[in-house]
Structure 1
């Protein structure tokens, strides 16, 4: 552990839900739940207004609806979330070159290097805590000014304590764990505050008379190893006693890019399965291009009706970001998977990422799918590699952005029985009016999200929806 609190942990408050509230005036102060809306959907994020009803992330969406039936239930808009995340991460990089993102809305920052190092240089140890508190408050104010959102910050001498500090600061707060106060800060906390302690471990410790972090430390490493096993017991004792010397690691390189969908009803029609694979391949390439990357290994994921999960992959001769190549390769891979019993989930990914492409790889894909007289897979009786997709159906997802030729920008409140309901309003404005249209109304079209606040970066034409 460092002798001064110079590791910062930032966690945006109810990130997805807060972005939705900020961009939709009619949802300010209302319960909002973001996630998969089908029967098998899971909550990604719940606003604090929804959390008071017991809704939380990873909960089944059907359960959330029972707990909070009057909430706004929205599908995610990852295009906008990534835009907001980029702004926040940019502010973190102004503090230090050592930023370790954990997700779109969470990161560690090393304040002992970069611009903050100059601010802290020469300060006596007792003054460092006060100065990093100022840094944390300035950061939170800058995030609010740039995005309209709130963030919670923890600053301490280790990553463990900084993370626990930001949890304790929620929502919209700041906690600085001063040097020498670590034991006093950790001791009273419940054991669930420590990483890796879930409900089962907490219950096991409770039965042994251990309920707080201080009681974990008092139990000693030997007793914890006896209760939980060598690896888990030793790790828990180290955390309870504040032992954490992990450095902040600059942004790690992404190993793969993928997309997947879970279907409300198992897919049994082979043509529909092929069509979904093609659609997922196109979405995957959109993400690939948005990241400025290419890849040489196409990966297919299939979860069948009985929850068995299969993965198939094919490595190309060189990296590509060509949608035709990824689509055809994924199409070949699905032909080798038996889906007659039904498909619950499909996913397409690209691994082996690179920063360059080979433009003539479409020919490679065409050669790979050409019939080989000696290959029974391409005999006349074999199923074709590609089948014409069914005519597209206009799908209007709750929460997603639309534009009407007469009424302007708005967002989908819901759809069904051939109708779609839209609320016409813009970020920073007043709650707008609701109107209903036929789902195939030619005057209504999907659109990109509008900026949250003046000066906020607007997604460009290459931005992708998820």
Structure 2
């Protein structure tokens, strides 16, 4: 029997997946030989024929193959069939095939008759209501449109009479705007200011991320940041083509009274007009207000001028805040920050014809607040002592709700924060924000400009305008169209899908059916559902997941007002940059800046000096770990050569950080010191508490570790991770460094190196995706 069994399965080795795959290929080859190809109507279509059909399956098969399609002989869970053809289906198959393209035979015959592939949704076998499990008596019947005037008095009344008027109202408005049209979603986003801004910001972030700063910049003792922002960007850019209106009150909007104002010039603001205000209200305040339409082409041109000018400076770092706003680290500039800012403003004014304002400060907070004082058409330098004069609402993270909580504590100005105990702030706004506000009160900000440009974490769409649906079938069709848009965006980024969230806007029960803003969503309850998804998500899987979540939300079609589909992703940044961004070429600019205070640095010689850096003036002294703990017996450590300490101390901090753990890369001829480290102790300390005290004393003693000290502890951590009994201690020590180094950029950078190394070692050790 055993031999007979082996013989029986010898042609596929017992692998039935392989068997069916080979069988499918064999049948497809037979079909190609039997039928001659006449057209490509059904190109890329693979059809599975289910049950009895009219015309019979043999005729449908012939029509499909002769016109460029394929027949799928088997329908498995991972079948590649694009369509299922069926005339009648059992209740169970209706459920099984709910997320497939199930079509009637007429789809084939009509496509062949007309010579072009027809829209399969017009030949559905399964009515979409079946997918939503809606009782037949709850399915709305769409009446024919009544040309008579609508009775708006009963449009908000409950029951079928109100439903009839609501449906008639929707059908009337669909004569102009129909959310079910294939072009609706693309047109919506092409005309959407928010979509343009988010897409443009993504492009600019990638552009800034691929920027390569100077290799050996000369950096001053203090950090200098500038916050650059166009004045009234949208309206200023739109006025480039209408200079005759520059002295008039002008805003940018879609124009209707129910539209909001994207941007208003300062002339309009004198009348009380502000961004976000409805046009109708704005015209009551300013009857002569002129509304200009959006001009995305001009916005893109002005945005390019801004970023090309800033990148031409060769700064240390640039972060894209938005299409008209950027944060730049110019600590390496030889000229004073005010001089650089004046040249930037002049150059952009010459090229774009519109003004920018610039805030200057030693950290992100100061630069941001300085920008508020600089507007319009100006620049401002802000010191930490001047922060107290600002309103509390001017601080980052303080919105309306936080402000209301701070008002109860009597906090109106930033200076008021100093008089409120930290415990009271903790109770009011939470520990994290209270600590941040306490730092802001003294003009401090530990945020790093590098943290502003984070990789893409979500890809999605959100639509809350002109969505008026009548039946569950229309809901499904609209959602399907949204999935197509989302899937195209997923394909545009190199990312792994992790989770999908569906948001649904549902009209509040007491909200009017006709929203105040024309076809806006009005007052809505927003519910959401989330589901984990595959890394490599197919379109069919996306539709299936979204439809499943929509069913869970269970919103009546007439109350459906908006949708948001957001995919949590993990961007593969390195691959994106190598694939889409060419090597950076020097930017050309009309501004000529001096970027160095000294001649170009000479390549460090291979001179050997002790690793102890020169001590700065009292009261702060700079020690190495060896000096601190008098580890004089460790001759093999103290006798090893390192970089030229004098040259290293003259290099800017960014270059020192690169050299810190990679001196062999800079001086290949110097062999790495042979360190007699063991995994059980560091400088004689073994317990976690002893090592924590040791680290605290080390970090408190100096602003940055020396090269040998850093290498010594780095190797200790790396070796400790390999020991089963010591890896947890090493991980806690790395976390402890981050706690101690919160105000020291050099130590924070060192922590990041340690963290990356421990992650790498632990992943290799445990074969896990994430450990801590």
In which range does the TM-score fall when normalised by the shorter chain? 0.5 to 0.7
Report deviation, 1:245. Answer: 2.1
Q: Which has the larger radius of gyration?
A: 2
Over 3 Å counting, the alpha-carbon distance change for 1:108 and 1:152 in structure 2 is same
* Of 431, 456, 459, the match for 1:257: 459
Correspondence for 2:616: none
Structure 2 residue aligned with 1:99:
318
Q: How many Å apart are 1:275 and its aligned residue? A: 5.5
Structure 2: stretches of 5+ with no match in the other structure: 1-219, 509-524, 577-772
Q: In 1, distance between residues paired with 2:497 and 2:242?
A: 40
Shift of 1:23: 3.8
- Checking the alignment, whether the CA contact within 8 Å between 1:154 and 1:174 is kept in structure 2 is yes
In structure 2, C-alpha distance between the alignment counterparts of 1:203 and 1:78, rounded to whole Å: 37
Change (3 A) 1:163 1:260: same
Match of 1:152 in 2: 357
Question: What is the alpha-carbon distance in structure 1 between the residues aligned to residue 348 and residue 230 of structure 2?
Answer: 9
Q: 2:357 matched to 1:135? A: no
C-alpha deviation, 1:38, in angstroms: 6.8
Q: Aligned partners of 2:353 and 2:454: how far apart in 1? A: 28
Aligned: 1:109 with 2:328: yes
- 1:296 shift after superposition: 4.6
Query: Within 5 A, what are the aligned runs for 1:67-106?
Result: 67-73=285-291, 76-78=294-296, 80-95=298-313, 96-106=315-325
Assess if the C-alpha contact under 8 Å between 1:182 and 1:242 holds in 2: yes
Deviation at 1:266, TM superposition (A): 4.2
Change (3 A) 1:143 1:334: farther
Residue 28 of structure 1: CA displacement?
3.0
Q: Hey, what's the Cα distance between the residues in 1 that align with 2:239 and 2:268?
A: 12
**Could you give the per-residue CA deviations for residues 413-460 of structure 1, whole angstroms, max 9, x where no partner exists?**
xxxxxxxxxxxxxxxxxxxxxxxxxxxxxxxxxxxxxxxxxxxxxxxx
1:50 counterpart = 2:268: yes
Q: Judging changes above 3 Å, is the alpha-carbon distance between structure 1 residues 219 and 89 closer, same or farther for their aligned structure 2 residues?
A: same
| Cα distance, 1:155 vs structure 2 | 1.1
Aligned to 1:164: 369
1:102-129 Cα shifts (integer Å, max 9, x gaps): 22222221112xxxx1x33xxxxxxxxx
Q: Once the 2 structures are TM-superposed, how far is the Cα of residue 241 of structure 1 from its aligned partner?
A: 0.9
The change in CA–CA distance for 1:208 and 1:258 in structure 2 (over 3 A counts) is closer
Cα deviation per residue 1:353-411 (whole Å; 9 max; x = unaligned)? Answer: 55889xxxxxxxxxxxxxxxxxxxxxxxxxxxxxxxxxxxxxxxxxxxxxxxxxxxxxx
Structure-2 change in CA distance of 1:36 and 1:343 (3 Å): farther
Give the superposition deviation at 1:351: 4.8
Deviation at residue 87 of structure 1 after TM alignment: 3.7
* TM-score between both structures, scaled by the size of structure 1: 0.59
Q: Secondary structure at the match of 1:249?
A: helix
Quick check: 2:476–2:547 contact (8 Å CA) kept in 1?
A: no
What is the CA deviation profile of residues 140-174 of structure 1, one whole-angstrom value per residue up to 9, with x for unaligned ones? 22322333332111111111000000111011211
Match of 2:469 among 267, 289, 297: 267
Tell me which of 225, 228, 238 is aligned to 1:7: 225
Q: Which piece of structure 1 moves more, 77-86 or 301-310?
A: 77-86
**Aligned position for 2:397:** 196
CA distance in 2, matches of 1:201, 1:331: 35
Question: What is the rounded CA distance, in whole Å, between the counterparts of 1:277 and 1:79 in structure 2?
Answer: 30
Structure 2 residue aligned with 1:173: 378
- Please identify which structure carries the higher strand content: 1
Q: In 2, Cα distance between the equivalents of 1:223 and 1:300? A: 38
CA RMSD of aligned residues (A): 4.0
Contact 2:486 2:565 in 1 (8 A): yes
**CA separation of 1:82 and 1:314: change in aligned 2, threshold 3 A:** farther
Find the residue that maps to 1:154 and give its secondary structure: strand
Which residue in 1 is equivalent to 2:146? Answer: none
Trace 1:306-385 onto structure 2 (pairs within 5 A).
Answer: 306=508, 307-311=525-529, 315=533, 318=536, 332=547, 336=551, 338-349=555-566, 351-352=568-569, 353=571
Partner of 1:248: 449
Contact map agreement 1:299 1:313 (CA 8 A) in 2: yes
Aligned to 1:182: 384
Tell me the distance in 2 between the aligned counterparts of 1:39 and 1:268: 27
Secondary structure of the equivalent of 2:319? strand
> Offset at 1:239?
0.5
Shift of residue 76, structure 1, vs aligned partner: 4.5
Task: Sort the Cα spacing of 1:66 and 1:266 in 2 relative to 1 into closer, same or farther, 3 A.
Answer: farther
Using CA pairs under 8 Å that are at least 6 residues apart, name the structure with larger relative contact order, 1 or 2: 1
Q: Distance in 2 between matches of 1:270 and 1:69?
A: 45
Deviations 1:11-70, CA, capped at 9 Å, x for gaps: 222222222222444543433434566787544333323322323334455544543454
Call closer, same or farther: CA 1:31–1:271 in 2, change over 3 Å.
farther
